[in-house]
Amino acid sequence: MSILKIIKEPDPILRKKSQTVDRVDENIQRLMNDMLETMYNAPGVGLAAPQVGITKRIIVVDCARTDEPPAPYKMINPELIDTSKEEIINEEGCLSLPGHYADVSRPSTARVRYLDENGNQQIMDTEGLLAVCIQHEIDHINGILFVDHLSSLKRNMILKKMVKAKKER
Ligand code: ZN
């Protein structure tokens, strides 16, 4: 396994809509293992393929608390097939916008359909942090960042800081 480079905003790749995966093969399985290792190393609780420069519909998440055993999920072509009307507010951050956090409101439960690493379809009901995390990562494969859920004032403030930080890198 290897640690991949995480792409930071601003980068046009983060705004692209990712492609559906047609075939789950060894390359896809290796990519998902590398993404998990990259996520744990960062550390973070979720990572989407475009964040490592690959515009494929693949996400990995692990929202287990530090006192719980690891609970990694590798999801290919994930889709929200149902979400609750009820929303929860959670402070979100993103490995592509390091150092920035903001409260985001999202549905508190989500039913997600995806292919697992063996190419089998799975349907999972999620709630709380896991539901929020999966929604954040599915946004990524649609070219959406968490700041897009904020007011334009807050969003622009963070994006301006990211542009400035890039110039200084
Ligand atoms: Zn993110």
| Catalytic residue flag (residue 79) | no
Please give the pLDDT value at position 11: 97
105/18 Cα distance (integer angstroms): 24
CA–CA dist 11, 169 (Å, integer): 14
Q: Find out whether 146 and 139 touch, Cβ atoms under 8 Å.
A: yes
Cα(93) to centroid(ligand 1), Å: 7
What is the per-residue pLDDT for 1? 79
pLDDT at residue number 129: 96
Distance (Å) from CA 6 to ligand 1 centroid: 10
| CA of 27 relative to ligand 1 center, distance in Å | 23
Confidence of residue 169 (pLDDT cuts 50, 70, 90): confident
Find out whether 105 and 92 touch, Cβ atoms under 8 Å: no
Rounded alpha-carbon distances, angstroms, from residue 52 to 38, 130, 151: 9, 21, 27
Cα(18) to centroid of ligand 1, in Å? 14
Residue pair 129/106 in contact (Cβ under 8 Å)? The answer is no
Active-site pick, 79, 91, 92, 137 = 137
H or E segment and range at residue 23: none
